[in-house]
Chains A and B, each alone.
Chain A
Amino acid sequence: MFVMKNIINSVLRSGGDEKLNIVTLCEHDEKYISLLCQTGHNFYIPTGETSSRWVNETCPVPPNLHILGEKSDTPPSFDFIVCHDRLENYDQAISLAALMHLPIILVDHCVAPKKAPVGVSFSIGDPERLSRSPDITVSLSSEISNGWKKNGLDLVVPIGIDTERFSPAESRSSNNIFNEKLSPKRVVFDNAVTQSVAATIFSSLSQSEHSVLPTDSDISQKEEIYREGDYFVNSWATVTVKLLEAMACGNVPICFRTPDTESFIDHGNDGYLIESPLDLASLVAHLDENPSISKEVGQRARQKIIDNHSIDSFLSKWSHVLSYMRSQFYSVK
């Protein structure tokens, strides 16, 4: 595929100091994109003919994120396009990039699946099948990076969590959200999944003994939920930002065993892996009966985030990625 550089941008944005204007596709990537927004650059989500959308309940819109199409303002000239899923919307990224002559940054959030998903006929690990290779690939872990065959530049940038903002509560407070009178143990789960998955998790837990609260809710207060939660059930197959936030708050992470979670959670040490929702009830009962174990696991989970998922490191690495891309595509030569 013949790829054009945006020559106009290379002339007009050769100063090097201006904030970049970055198009990012978004399908359940609100949390990660809000982290990227902390780099200070401007991010834009195209709606309309793309499948991108922003769910406010998951994450409020950062001030430097703009949803294109919502207002009649003329959009600026863009510098890069960021795609978070090489399976679902990479084709959209290629189309947008071809229209605007933009370099593509691909963020791999998960390991390459061992077999192609339904409806995907080709080998998804083979980069030659991508009609256009990304200009740079960012993987969330070395396991993810090693799993995909790639051409070109790639690097690992683990998700960063602000462990001061997401930290355990000093003391348990009486909180209406958790309906303290009914239940001593608090289970948080990410409800931004399909209704069937959410319902399965919800129904697996004893409502009389646990307060179950979804992360995405109009009445929820994000940090407070994690801070005062005991267990966090990761309802996704991958390692998500919400999982890490919950771990930073000392919640015991409980994940379904998948190639992604297997390489992240040290079962029994800093979290637990279950095979199916049927295992959830027994695990939670075990943790209920052994509060010292769950406390230790929660502490180790938090320490893991402190040791390996620094928000400063995340922002620094991403700033370097964007600076490098700017120098490659838009510097004066």
Chain B
Amino acid sequence: MNVLFIGPYRQTGEWGRKSRALLNALQKTPHNVTSRPLYMQNTLFLNHSEESEFALFDSYDAVVQFSLPALTVYDNQCGKNIGVFNNEMMNLPPDSLSRISMFDEIWVDSEDIRESIQCKLQDVKVRVIGAYLDPWLWKLSQGDDLSILRANTAVSDRFIFYTLGDITQKSGLREAVTAYYSTFNHTDHVILAIIVESPVEEAAMEQLITSCKDSVGAVRDSNSMPNVTVYNPPTPSPMKVLKSLHVEADCFIMPSYSVNTSTLSLEAACFGNTPILNKGTASYGALGEENCWGIESYDEISTLDDRPFRDMFTSQEICRKPIIKSLSSLMREAYVNKFSRDKKKKNNLDLKRHLESDENYSSLGDILCS
């Protein structure tokens, strides 16, 4: 088959990572792939071209569009129109239903997401695809100077929790920092490293961290609070910081409200930094309890203030919110329970082998043909 893939694979950020991961997975199938980048927002872009951009065919049997529904288009020149909307919430925004209904197939990350969507779509097949890794992870880890973290004397010899965050509600950063402050004090050899991918005003980040500190209450004074370090772009670059943390850190936290698969969680697991993430999400489903720690969480309607588009993350959709108490106890367990930590780390190596295996990619090829 000739497959045309359109996605934001030149972008940084999670959309870029997942798009590159899916494109890489398609390229590993026996099918011919042409790719074209999509530029969704003003963000950092990677200056690279995919080999598949230079492959061109007279006709295409399938077009895969990895994008938001409003940014896709149905085309009857291609045999099958497949939409991958990277659904971060359960259910579908009502405004996008008419556009999504035009597609022949939609690919999602988990059975839960599939069920929540299929009931609204009569003639569209909703299918679950596997989890795939961003190939850039492996490219950058060879020969790069990844000692960004250990060069900081405040960090060396400490147990490093790390998380990707921004000041939006959906990222779950507030919950992560609050849980961290309520769990640890300055005598614990821990540090929380926050990587920010899209630049955030320093004052806004400071305010978030301070408010989390205040919300913990006067159980201890500020001098006894554990350390938090924030890596805000452009220097050093988020990609380098991320790779450095994957190599040097100990535990990845992802209490994000999104229900889809997080490539960063997969990456962290592959580096042996067993992630802590919300139960009930596709990430948790892909990893399993043996490969991660599951935060008790609950479904809630999406009432986010910060929407990239007017019809996204509305109250018609369901997000997954962490229970801070559960996150707190899991952070403590990850820190103190070396036995459990090592056991999961060993399981993570098996997971890595599976994610890199031909078997993982061949299933995608079969899905395309069927």
Contacts and interface: CB of A to CB of B under 8 A. Distances in A.
Interface residues of A, number: 17
Nearest to A8: B75
B149 interface: no
B77 A7 contact: no
B76 A77 contact: yes
Contacts of A99: 73, 99
A7 B76 contact: no
Contacts of B121: none
Interface string B47-77: 0000000001001100100000001010111
Given A7-B6, A101-B73, A14 B56 contact: yes
A8 B78 CA distance: 9
Given A7-B38, A8-B78, A11-B56, A100 B4 contact: no
B36 interface: yes
Contacts of A8: 4, 6, 63, 73, 75, 77-78
Given A11-B4, A14-B56, A332-B56, A77 B36 contact: no
B27 interface: no
A197 interface: no
Contact of A74 (B36, B63, B76): B76
Interface string A1-15: 010101111111010
B36 A10 contact: yes
A11 B76 contact: no
Nearest to A14: B56
Interface string B97-110: 00100000000000
Interface string B70-93: 010101111000000000000000
B36 to A, nearest CB: 5
B258 interface: no
Interface size on B, as a range, is 10 to 19
A4 B71 contact: yes
A77 B56 contact: no
B181 to A, nearest CB: 38
B302 interface: no
A79 to B, nearest CB: 12
Contact of B60 (A7, A12, A100): A12
Contacts of B60: 11-12
A175 to B, nearest CB: 50
> Which residue among A4, A8, A9, A100 has the maximum number of chain B CB atoms within 10 Å of its CB?
A8
B34 interface: yes
B73 A100 contact: yes
A9 to B, nearest CB: 7
Contacts of A14: 56
A143 B63 CA distance: 46
Contacts of B99: 99
A164 B63 CA distance: 49
Contact of A12 (B38, B71, B77): B77
Nearest to A75: B76
Given A11-B56, A12-B78, 14 more contacts: A2-B71, A4-B71, A7-B6, A7-B38, A8-B78, A11-B4, A11-B34, A12-B59, A12-B60, A12-B75, A14-B56, A76-B76, A77-B76, A101-B73
Interface of A: 2, 4, 6-12, 14, 74, 76-77, 99-101, 332
Interface of B: 4, 6, 34, 36, 38, 56, 59-60, 63, 71, 73, 75-78, 99
Going nearest first, the 7 A-B pairs with the smallest beta carbon separation are: A8-B75, A101-B73, A7-B36, A7-B6, A77-B77, A4-B71, A12-B77
9 contacts: A2-B71, A6-B73, A7-B38, A8-B63, A8-B75, A8-B78, A12-B60, A76-B76, A77-B75
